[in-house]
Structure 1
Amino acid sequence: MEGWSRRRIGSFGRIVTGGTPRTGDEAAWGNGVPFITPTEIDYSLRNPLAGRRLSREGVAGLQTKSLPAGSVLFVCIGFSTGKVSFAEFPVITNQQINSVVPSDADSSLYLYYSLKHYAPEIRRMASGSTTPIVNKTQFSDFEVRAPSRAEQCAIAEVLGALDDKIALNERIRQSALSLAGACYESVGTGNEPEVLGGLAELFDGPHATPHKTPTGPWFLSISSLKSGYLDLAESAHLSEEDFPRWTRRVQPQGGDVLFSYETRLGDAALMPPGVRGSLGRRMALLRSKSVAVSGSLLLHAYLAPAFQEEIKRRAIHGATVDRLPLKEMPGWRISLPAAGERERLSAKLDALHTTVVQIADENRTLAELRDHLLPQLVTGKLRVKDATRVVEEAV
């Protein structure tokens, strides 16, 4: 396409490999610049999540690793190789991440979207049988297609409009969940905790993993459990043929409380209605026995500090992972609001979780549109004006 050329990633700007404070240097940590590792980079979000922060001393010790706003972060070491993020604020990363600080001659946001497209190819260059590594030279020398800066900015604006809407929706979703938790805590609990098994049935998930497929019913992952919200972007699919086998014990239904009984102890989420899926490994569910105790009410009782303390107290600490003794859980006690408060509170919580589900559905649609347009735009196969019309209808 006219005006397009192949360019090395290194030609866009300065490449910076991150670093880490010395082990045991507690003075390096504080409330300053965010410190980003692959964990803080989410496949479904453009910007890194705020993890630990460095103190003034910590930043001074890693001064050469400091990245300005507009830097593009790319994971080059480990099984998260290929994760990409865009820093809207100054950050410092660990050594698993190579970052590009683009010059003014290029659009940093365009480079972010371009690397999102080329990430699978870059990942395939990784060497190492145990830990995949794309070294700094390989990363810098990899070639991508790029147009003029004006065209870069136009492409970034189209794709950025979708990500901006996704980010706004994400903030609304988080606010709805926070409000739900606050509503639950404001009501208080009854006088005596109740036996969990009297309120809900407990079902265990499969102890193996099916063959993953590109589409089909969901094979839910404990990574999808995010403090009350089920993030399906972190789960996989299984085939229709395998689905009956993996739901033989139980098929999750709307209103079930999904939780992890190994590693991510204490985390739980509400199963949204209309989603066909099976429990994943290390996952179980609670299903309310009574309409008087809705799934959302049971979820927030599970997430409440009192039951979280019960989880910590009763967890079995193994040599490799911590776990919950599922056979004993029905006998545990859980605190709920007084009987007279349950119906009113359930209605509030149900409404807030309906908002959470609607936002999640909209974001999946927006992300699918972005992922459809992205490869066509960053390779010059689709004109910006054609993509703009599609995006304006969506947002």
Structure 2
Amino acid sequence: MSGWTRRLFGELISETKDGDWGQEGAAEGFAPFHVIRGTDFEDVRRGNISAVPLRHLPERTVWRRRLQPGDLLLETAGGSRGRSTGRSMLVDQRVMDLFPASVTCASFARFLRVDSGIADSRFVYWFLQQLHMSGAMWNHQVQHTGVARFQYTRFAEVQDVLLPPLDEQQAIAEVLGALDDKIALNERIRHTALSLAGACYESVGTGNEPEVLGDLAELFDGPHATPHKTPTGPWFLSISSLKSGYLDLAESAHLSEEDFPRWTRRVQPQGGDVLFSYETRLGDAALMPPGVRGSLGRRMALLRSKSAAVSGPLLLHAYLAPVFQEEIKRRTIHGATVDRLPLKEMPGWRISLPAEGERERLSEKLEALHTTVMQTADENRTLADLRDTLLPQLITGKLRVKDATRVVEEAV
């Protein structure tokens, strides 16, 4: 660890400002800006900007908050019962190129501009990632009202950073970045495969008469309680794992082996169940991959085909097709605090499938594309586990960069 020094975090930052939320509509003296919120960090990191709002901010001040490549974003309000504030995101050139207009961050976040003569912004980003992953950010959070807030000023004044020489910072960032780049590539492959699957389904068209959903599939709902969660064991699936056609198990928790027998709404181990949410995130659905031991979580339900002629992928894309999504919107029960689907009525709904002569051929195409989706998801879980294992070792100097490089080269 020759040449490593300790610096206060604030000494690494040349400029920082809170974000701005602006206003929804255009007006004289206001400029359009994409405004990244803390809840957008993960999606933007993966290349998905569809949920990032376009707002209008005052021209006289917003220029000071216009993001530049290399800036870091830090969440300063929000969090949840099990997750602290203080999430971070790196705004590199790849992120900047995603947006057609200027970009800033929301008022519940702030941008950090790193002094490039002292630190590499990518290394500082990974340092922040490690702090959040380890739970250290809880030390800088306060909550006097309903919203938890991150005490950035205090954090910058007391948090020390073990800082290697600049060239070693860059090398560490490149090793970790190589894993993130491979994960991002797999995300693009998965998105393309899902888009192709949807296009294949739509191109075939549907049969003459919609069919009764309950004649095609059984419907099971999940439990109304949440079991005790454990670090490992069978999966307890969460609605946050539904990602527009595929299941992201990284968003779900685990049950203990002792609890698992009591949770009877289990997914079938050979895969093919279609999972969906009946409260919040209505319209989302995903195909359950094979080889997963798990149980439905709260506000989740599944459709299980009654016939080999209607495969899981075929049923999934019938669910995701625009005609059935419109049915979901039409029949949604709008409550005071949450929207939900009337599960007891759903088996009587009608759903459109391709003509019987087209189903086998289309199922083969869809199954091949969903195999790609599942393979990239599996690989990304492995890569993310490797990244999260290497991160604390590299960021503290316990693992040499050349040793980590060898491991990463074998993985990617």
TM-score category by the smaller chain? over 0.9
Separation of aligned partners in 1, 2:60 and 2:213: 51
Letter in 2 for 1:146: L
**For residue 19 of structure 1, what is the aligned residue in structure 2?**
20
TM-aligned CA deviation for residue 45 of structure 1:
4.7
Alpha carbons 1:27, 1:57 under 8 Å: kept? no
TM-aligned CA deviation for residue 123 of structure 1:
2.7
**For residue 81 of structure 1, what is the aligned residue in structure 2?**
85
**For residue 219 of structure 2, what is the aligned residue in structure 1?**
202
Residue 165 (str. 1) matches residue 182 (str. 2): yes
Separation of aligned partners in 2, 1:386 and 1:31: 48
Separation of aligned partners in 1, 2:267 and 2:188: 31
Deviates more, 1:303-312 or 1:39-48: 39-48
Alpha carbons 1:36, 1:48 under 8 Å: kept? no
Alpha carbons 2:75, 2:86 under 8 Å: kept? yes
**For residue 112 of structure 1, what is the aligned residue in structure 2?**
125
Q: Could you state the TM-score of these two structures normalised by the residue count of structure 2?
A: 0.90
Alpha carbons 1:12, 1:100 under 8 Å: kept? no
TM-aligned CA deviation for residue 207 of structure 1:
0.5
Change (3 A) 1:9 1:47: farther
RMSD: 2.1
**For residue 301 of structure 2, what is the aligned residue in structure 1?**
284
How many pairs were matched up?
392
Alpha carbons 1:31, 1:53 under 8 Å: kept? no
Separation of aligned partners in 1, 2:326 and 2:407: 49
Alpha carbons 1:48, 1:86 under 8 Å: kept? no
Letter in 1 for 2:21: T
**For residue 126 of structure 1, what is the aligned residue in structure 2?**
141
**For residue 225 of structure 1, what is the aligned residue in structure 2?**
242
Q: Give 3-state SS (helix, strand or coil) of 1:62's partner.
A: helix
Change (3 A) 1:323 1:187: same
Q: Give 3-state SS (helix, strand or coil) of 2:42's partner.
A: coil
**For residue 99 of structure 2, what is the aligned residue in structure 1?**
none
Letter in 2 for 1:104: S
Change (3 A) 1:301 1:43: closer
Q: Give 3-state SS (helix, strand or coil) of 1:208's partner.
A: coil
Q: Give 3-state SS (helix, strand or coil) of 1:213's partner.
A: strand
Separation of aligned partners in 2, 1:144 and 1:43: 28
**What do residues 343-378 of structure 1 show as CA deviations (whole Å, max 9, x unaligned)?**
000000000000000000111111111100000001
Q: Which of 329, 344, 354 is 2:371 aligned to? A: 354
Letter in 1 for 2:16: I
- The 5 A counterparts of 1:154-303 are 154-246=171-263, 248-253=264-269, 254-303=271-320
Q: Could you state the TM-score of these two structures normalised by the residue count of structure 1?
A: 0.94
Separation of aligned partners in 2, 1:206 and 1:192: 34
Residue 99 (str. 1) matches residue 108 (str. 2): no
**For residue 52 of structure 1, what is the aligned residue in structure 2?**
52
Q: Give 3-state SS (helix, strand or coil) of 1:328's partner.
A: helix
**What do residues 299-337 of structure 1 show as CA deviations (whole Å, max 9, x unaligned)?**
000000000000011111111111001110000000000
Letter in 2 for 1:92: T
Alpha carbons 1:34, 1:51 under 8 Å: kept? no
Q: Give 3-state SS (helix, strand or coil) of 2:69's partner.
A: coil
**For residue 411 of structure 2, what is the aligned residue in structure 1?**
394
Alpha carbons 2:37, 2:52 under 8 Å: kept? no
Separation of aligned partners in 2, 1:256 and 1:60: 54
Which residues of structure 2 form unaligned runs of 5+?
97-102
Separation of aligned partners in 1, 2:329 and 2:261: 34
Query: Identity over the aligned pairs, expressed in percent?
Result: 64
Alpha carbons 1:196, 1:334 under 8 Å: kept? yes
Q: Which of 321, 325, 347 is 1:304 aligned to? A: 321
Separation of aligned partners in 2, 1:377 and 1:230: 30
Separation of aligned partners in 1, 2:232 and 2:402: 31
Deviates more, 1:362-371 or 1:127-136: 127-136
Residue 382 (str. 1) matches residue 386 (str. 2): no
